[in-house]
Chain A
Amino acid sequence: MALKKVKGNIERMFDKNLTDLVRGIRNNKENEAKYITQCMEDIKQELRQDNLTVKGNAIAKLTYLQMLGYDISWAGFNVIEVMSSNKFTLKRTGYLAASQSFHCDSELLMLTTNMIRKELNSQNQYDAGLALTSLSCYISTDLARDLSQDILTLLSSTKPYIRKKAVLMMYKVFLKYPEALRPAFPKLKEKLEDPDPGVQSAAVNVICELARKNPKNYLSLAPVFFKLMTTKTNNWMLIKIIKLFGALTPLEPRLGKKLIEPLTNLIHSTSAMSLLYECINTVIAVLISISSGMPNHAASIQLCVQKLRILIEDSDQNLKYLGLLAMSKILKTHPKSVQAHKDLILQCLEDKDESIRLRALDLLYGMVSKKNLMEIVKKLMVHMDKAEGTIYRDELLAKIVLICSQNNYQFITNFEWYLTVLVELAQMEFGSKQGHVIAAQLIDVSIRVQAIRSFAVAEMAQLLEFYASNSQFSIMQDVLYSAAWLCGEFASELKEPEASLIAMLKYKSLPPHIEIVFIQNILKLYACCLMKYELAQDYDKICGMYEVTQRKLENSLKSPEIEVQERASSTLMILEVVHCEVMAKKGVKTEQIMEDFDLPIDAEVDKGETVAMQLLNLFNGDLNPVAPKAQKKVPIPEGLDLDSFIEEPDFGENEYSSDSDYEIKGNLFVKDSNERNSKPELTEEEKVKIREARKNEQMNNPHYLKSSNKKYEDIPVAELQLDVPLKVLSKRSDKYLKFDNGAKKSRKNKRSKKHKVESSTDDDNELVNKTLMVNQNLELPEGATLSDSEGSVGNPDDPHRALDIDLDLPGLDEKKLADSPQPESNKIKSKKKKHNKIKKDKSVAAAAAAAKQPGDDGENKKKMKKSKDKKEKTKKKKSKELSNEYEEALGISTPSKEFP
């Protein structure tokens, strides 16, 4: 026996321990992977042995490998073996491995329940501590349910070390098993007054975290926390309490008023930056929530802004960053106070640190005015040239657009300038998404500011010409989209539509969504030119233009993109038809001239008579921007029931109408001859009627293929096949021959392509504000307003949603506690105790209810006075507390200053 042991020990001496592994990895840098595979093999070998110490050694090594990123989930069972050891050393290794490698979905966790329970109830506080620490990393819903009672019991442990860990652990339990919150809450609340400062701080932490997510259930605790805030000096705890108040005040403005004074005192007195920062944040939150009903409200804001200025001026980059961050919160409600520090913020734009520049940019939109806008944007443009990295560039661009467009371009005095800026921006390099922003702005400005239209169109035409003539000319493709659209839509503003048309026809390899805009707008420009030529009766030019356009569009017909193809082919067809018409007219004209030589050539041409007018009619109508969310706000008209049939399907008589197809699905292919004969004979009239109805139905049904027409030989099958033509071209001709239909169709397409613009319905009586001002008409359904908000949808996966439990219903407490599922082993015991327990809990609950009574103002004032008195007392007590073996963090400051 002894011999075997000695032999085992000798063998163990040759095993690699953790240090050897680490050293080995460091010595094998070149072939680390190979070395580690070798080690993994050794470890597997070791895990197969019976000796737990050997296994522990192997698990320790695995934990190291896990940290390096290797998968060790396969060893889960061995980890549990080591965890179950009696030796503390092995337990420590095992629990560490578990906390690092276990996942809360793992099935292995089932095996751990009883083991962990045993440890939690261990006499040695460090055993329980190990189990709690480890459990916090992988607690699952099952574990939380089964162990919540045990952990709850630990809250009353005599050892502060255990109480502290148990309190924090309860938070994890709540997240996984929300039902535990209500029965545990009274005990948790008691811990706020725990004699041990560590436990107290842990309880504050937990309640603060709970309350931040569901503040309204914790309002009644405000007095307790208020007392804590005014009596304690531990900054760690104070920060949490102040954060908690920040969450509570929006719900209870009265609380905010009370907070201002102690908070401002803290702001004045504290030397700890983290506390100062937290106080300022909460004061801002308070002031936002109670709006301007406060007498010294302005003073508090002023104080915050002053302190923030000091932060921003600090050489510490961290403080600068946070100062700017907090400023941006103030900016939302008190822009004037922040504007006073414009110089400082503009200075931060020059900072070396990109993150600080970004924060300063956030503030910039509150700094601009009509006077300084151009200057600020110019500065930003300089930055743009210097900026490295697209993230910052993109941000700059977004901010330029934001500050210029805010409040309906409120600060822009010169739109020509703004357009030029946009065009300049368009020629810089950005991330892929930014082109869209500029394009949208160009379109928006041009539509809404009528006075600028001709300038904008000229600018766009120039862009297009550059683009067409110079292959080196780099520009964002999305901007081409808006350039093409603007030139087409407002072709009448163009001085030389022919030149633009020719430039536009030179497009090459564009993304499909832009190419279709080009095609569509080529047609618009074509119409415009045609009008011009027709009035001048310049038929040669018409022919020339037609040929060039046709050639280009035929190229686009070959595009692999279906949208482009369709657009090109329909445009081509329209052109063809129009051209025929023009030529026919020309024929008539020439005949007339031949007949009557006296007729002056261009006297008779009237605008209304031209073919171009008909073509232009396709694009008639004003365009207004559509308000965001407009689509969602279209109300369902009264009397429209979306669920009812428009036409009641006729099941009784017409069982062979395709609506009832599914009823005879059973023998769709095998036709029963009897069945056919059994059909009631129909009169000729009825047959015609049914045939008509079916034709209609088939026309409207795009999925119509499964024809049941085998039964009826007399149905004109050939006609139906027109819907599925073999040649793409022939199909379009049918549609577009009918001008009006075609026009409507093409316009509809256009509408759906661009969300920004929509033609303002066909009735022209709409009054559009045609001043120099920015047109603020946004298309919205009647009755809907822009400010209509949509309900915000939180993250459904957030575990905190389940924790929204009203804790102020004491009546339910005891019931819940009694009902709460208890671990099997405890059940028998607890049954005996139940009676006593309920009594106890009742008294606890009653006491809690009494304590929770939200005091009226008078009471609170008294409390405040009391607490002030206490504050003085505690100052005297402070020396005692310090000797209490507990280190208070007296002044937290940024460590960056302490550690150069």
Chain B
Amino acid sequence: MQFMLLFSRQGKLRLQKWYNAHPDKLKKKITRELITTILTRKPKMCSFLEWRDLKIVYKRYASLYFCCAIEQNDNELLTLEIIHRYVELLDKYFGSVCELDIIFNFEKAYFILDELLLGGEIQETSKKTVLKAIASQDLLQEDEAVEGALRDIGLL
């Protein structure tokens, strides 16, 4: 996978993850181009696009579009599956996820994505394992927060 974009129906970017390094200008151009093309497509159209030498796979969940760019030989259905898996993970983590969850906890959304994919390749297909990894890392953070608070008030 080359990159993944999340954007709203209004065309606002909610998350961008690039697995190949591009200059910022190019990223912006690609994003703008894709958002406009995808938003103009009608809901009954299929989820695949031929774009430059890549294939674009996108899917709309509620008000959010999830859009991935894959290479010519990659499996489109598998990519849809990855998108779906990601949505499921977000859903489990936030508890019936909505766009606002992702806006306010965008870093969590990134963390979850990073546990699912690494360098554009599927890293973990088990939902449980991903969520467990996220939970333990969150726990680490909480421990630190408690520790920090205690230290601040002089108990430690």
Contacts and interface: CB of A to CB of B under 8 A. Distances in A.
A561 interface: no
B21 interface: yes
A195 interface: no
Interface string B81-106: 10110010000000000000001101
Given A89-B144, A236-B125, A354 B154 contact: no
Interface in B20-78: 21, 23-24, 28, 31, 42, 44-49, 59, 61, 73, 75-78
A895 B76 contact: no
Interface residues of A, number: 79
A274 B84 contact: no
Interface stretch (A129-137, A295-303, A648-656, A692-700): A129-137
A885 B24 contact: no
Contacts of A353: 42, 44-46
A64 B31 CA distance: 16
A169 B49 CA distance: 29
Interface of A: 2, 5, 9, 18-19, 22, 26, 53, 60, 63-64, 67-69, 71, 73, 87-89, 92-93, 96, 99-100, 103-105, 124, 126, 129, 132-133, 136-138, 161, 164-165, 168-169, 171-172, 197-198, 201-202, 205-206, 209, 212, 234, 236-237, 239, 243, 273-274, 277-278, 317-318, 320-322, 352-356, 885-887, 889, 892, 894-896, 898-899
Given A104-B21, A137-B18, A895 B78 contact: no
A198 B75 contact: no
Interface residues of B, number: 59
B4 to A, nearest CB: 12
Interface of B: 13-16, 18-19, 21, 23-24, 28, 31, 42, 44-49, 59, 61, 73, 75-78, 80-81, 83-84, 87, 103-104, 106-107, 110-111, 114-115, 118-119, 121-129, 133, 136-137, 140-141, 144-145, 148, 152, 154
Contact of B77 (A53, A212, A277): A277
A317 B46 contact: yes
A239 B45 contact: no
Given A88-B137, A103-B23, 4 more contacts: A67-B13, A278-B78, A352-B42, A886-B126
A69 B125 contact: no
Contacts of A895: 59, 80-81, 83-84, 87
Given A69-B13, A209-B121, A236-B122, A243 B75 contact: yes
Contacts of B119: 136-137, 168-169, 171-172
Contact of A887 (B81, B103, B125, B136): B125
Contacts of B106: 63-64, 67
When A and B form their complex, which 3 residue pairs have the shortest distance between CB atoms, in order from nearest? A274-B77, A895-B84, A317-B46
Contacts, number: 173
29 contacts: A9-B152, A22-B103, A26-B103, A60-B107, A63-B107, A67-B106, A89-B145, A92-B137, A92-B141, A99-B114, A126-B140, A133-B114, A198-B125, A236-B122, A243-B75, A273-B77, A274-B75, A278-B75, A278-B78, A317-B46, A320-B46, A352-B44, A352-B45, A353-B45, A887-B126, A887-B129, A896-B59, A896-B80, A899-B61
Q: Taking each of A60, A99, A105, A198, which has the highest tally of chain B beta carbons within 10 Å of its own beta carbon?
A: A198
B154 to A, nearest CB: 7
Contacts of A886: 126, 129
A19 B77 CA distance: 36
Contacts of B145: 89
Given A67-B16, A164-B124, A236-B122, A129 B75 contact: no
B104 A317 contact: no
Contacts of A355: 45-46, 48-49
Contacts of A278: 75, 78
Contacts of A198: 123-126, 129
Contacts of A322: 48, 76-77
Nearest to B76: A322
Given A273-B77, A887-B127, A126 B83 contact: no
Contacts of A67: 13-16, 106
B22 to A, nearest CB: 8
A322 B87 CA distance: 23
B123 A165 contact: yes
